[in-house]
Amino acid sequence: MPDSPEELDSLFHSLDALGRFPGTEGPELSAVDGVDRLLLAEAYADLRSDPATDGGGAGRVVVLDDAFGALTLGAVACATGASDPARVVVHQDWVTAERALDVNAERLGLTDAFTRHDALRGLDSELLGRAKVVLLRLPKSLDTLTEQVEAIARHAPADVTVYAGGRVKHMTRGMNDVIARSFGDVRASLGRFKSRALIARSPLPSARTQEPTFPRRAHLGEIGLDVVSHGGVFAGTRLDIGTRYLLTFLDEMAPDAAQAIDVGCGSGILAVSLAQARPGLQVLASDQSAAAITSTAATAQANGVAAAVTTLRDDALSTLPADCADLVVCNPPFHSGTALHTDAAHRMFAAAARVLRPGGELWTVYNSHLLYKRDLSRVVGPTTMAGQNPKFTVTRTVRRD
Ligand SMILES: C[S@@+](CC[C@H](N)C(=O)[O-])C[C@H]1O[C@@H](n2cnc3c(N)ncnc32)[C@H](O)[C@@H]1O
């Protein structure tokens, strides 16, 4: 950990201006946290190196899954010498995170100071092939981390340094193990701001040649589907039990529908099952996550319905016109029932109300303790319970005129 030079303090001060929009905002929710601060402090010397002396600069700093832009804008602000917008390249899986970075960049007058990697291209050599420094916030999912670390070790130059930071209370031994499978030198920083960084160097030669773990493909005999999933996509290549229950109502869903939408499609199981069961039905599968979108496209391809399933990376269908669908299926993020999750579900219901034609149907599955039936009736239209098992409720909502 370097001393905190004055520049670093003033950088932290300027980052205090960042907001979380379009993410959930609230007095106790901050767009910059101890993990961001620790990562910028740990990588400070590397981030400051002058592009004039470090080999041109383009693509030398790579930021993965910046939450609201603090790492990207912080890395930009650390640079010395002439600022090259190609120097800091950011890849964000969530389109909402991209939007938050854009809003914050504008706020700090840094809109053209970095380069965005097309998230649908994934973690490829174009993104990582010149990286000297990689900053990433440790994801909750070890599968996500595995895919990220394997990609860095495969594509980045041998002198790359990876700074992977997390809240101490959320860090596990498994994270070290994942990184150590691809890097010869892994050490932990001292703790600060209740956070710690794992710092990795020396990508292993074997990591350059081994088959990537993701995307994974599995056959789900139970529903006769091949599922393809990138790391961190909801349920991976497994069938979620809520999804399984919703699938048992497939035949009852808007029988005359021509246009259907799967909002929050994950690996694409609902969208692809619909397309398979209803020849002639066009299905749009949408998710905020690039990994989910590329997984869904691959799942559709693997099951021979690529022509019937189109994909769209979007935040709660925000770019779709009103009244464009006859059927929407939705398995919203619901497991913990925390404010953040119910918020996401409500945004999906509001989106369904907008994109459904009058008389169109929304089919939803959720944990029975959640009181979504009342919300659905209010926001979308008359809602009936189509089924209930010990854990889940499935509802059919008809969009009111
Ligand atoms: C419970 S998972 C369901 C995945 C899939 N439909 C299934 O049943 O296996 C919810 C999905 O919603 C997506 N999601 C969450 N918030 C979203 C938003 N604002 N816009 C679009 N997708 C979102 C998540 O990325 C996740 O893939």
Indicate if 310 and 383 belong to the same structural domain: yes
In DSSP terms, 365 is beta-bridged to 394
Give the pLDDT confidence score for residue 28 in this predicted structure.
Answer: 78
Cα 33 off chain centre by: 19
Task: Using the 3D structure, point to which of 209, 244, 279 is the last residue of a domain.
Answer: 209
Indicate if 229 and 360 belong to the same structural domain: yes
Q: Which of 94, 234, 269, 311 to mutate to test the pocket of ligand 1 (most atoms within 8 A of CB)?
A: 234
Quickly count: other Cβ atoms within 10 Å of residue 358's Cβ: 10
Residue 130 CB less than 6 A away from ligand 1: no
| Distance separating alpha carbons of residues 25 and 13, to the nearest angstrom | 19
pLDDT tens digits for 42-73? 999 999 876 666 555 889 999 999 999 999 99
CA of 356 to the centre of ligand 1 (A): 18
Task: Using the 3D structure, point to which of 209, 236, 254 is the last residue of a domain.
Answer: 209
CA of 100 to the centre of ligand 1 (A): 19
Indicate if 392 and 320 belong to the same structural domain: yes
Indicate if 102 and 225 belong to the same structural domain: no
CA of 386 to the centre of ligand 1 (A): 22
| Distance separating alpha carbons of residues 172 and 378, to the nearest angstrom | 43
Quickly count: other Cβ atoms within 10 Å of residue 83's Cβ: 16
pTM of the model: 0.95
CA of 269 to the centre of ligand 1 (A): 12
Instruction: Note down the domain range covering 331.
Output: 216-398
DSSP H or E stretch at residue 188 = strand 183-188
Task: Using the 3D structure, point to which of 187, 209, 231 is the last residue of a domain.
Answer: 209
Quickly count: other Cβ atoms within 10 Å of residue 86's Cβ: 14
| Distance separating alpha carbons of residues 150 and 154, to the nearest angstrom | 6
The total of structural domains in the chain comes to: 2
Give the pLDDT confidence score for residue 337 in this predicted structure.
Answer: 43
CATH number of the domain enclosing 350:
3.40.50.150
Give the pLDDT confidence score for residue 343 in this predicted structure.
Answer: 84
CA of 132 to the centre of ligand 1 (A): 33
Indicate if 243 and 159 belong to the same structural domain: no
Q: Is 222 exposed, middle or buried (0-12, 13-18, 19+ CB in 10 A)?
A: exposed
Indicate if 178 and 274 belong to the same structural domain: no
Indicate if 287 and 394 belong to the same structural domain: yes
Side-chain-side CA neighbours of residue 208 (13 Å): 11
Give the pLDDT confidence score for residue 44 in this predicted structure.
Answer: 94
pLDDT tens digits for 91-110? 999 999 999 999 999 999 99
Give the pLDDT confidence score for residue 342 in this predicted structure.
Answer: 73
Q: Which atom of ligand 1 is nearest to the CA of 271?
A: 6
Indicate if 300 and 201 belong to the same structural domain: no
Cα 76 off chain centre by: 23
For 83, the token pair is: 């600022």
Q: Which residues of the chain have pLDDT under 70?
A: 1-4, 50-56, 81-83, 335-341
Indicate if 191 and 321 belong to the same structural domain: no
Indicate if 220 and 186 belong to the same structural domain: no
Give the pLDDT confidence score for residue 48 in this predicted structure.
Answer: 87
Q: Which residue has the tokens 């979380």?
A: 20
Indicate if 58 and 202 belong to the same structural domain: yes
In DSSP terms, 397 is beta-bridged to 362, 383
Indicate if 18 and 165 belong to the same structural domain: yes
Return the residue whose CA atom lies nearest to atom 27 of ligand 1.
266
Q: Are 302 and 228 in contact (CB under 8 A)?
A: yes
Give the pLDDT confidence score for residue 279 in this predicted structure.
Answer: 95
Residue 93 CB less than 6 A away from ligand 1: no
> Coil, strand, or helix at residue 168?
helix
Residue 288 CB less than 6 A away from ligand 1: yes
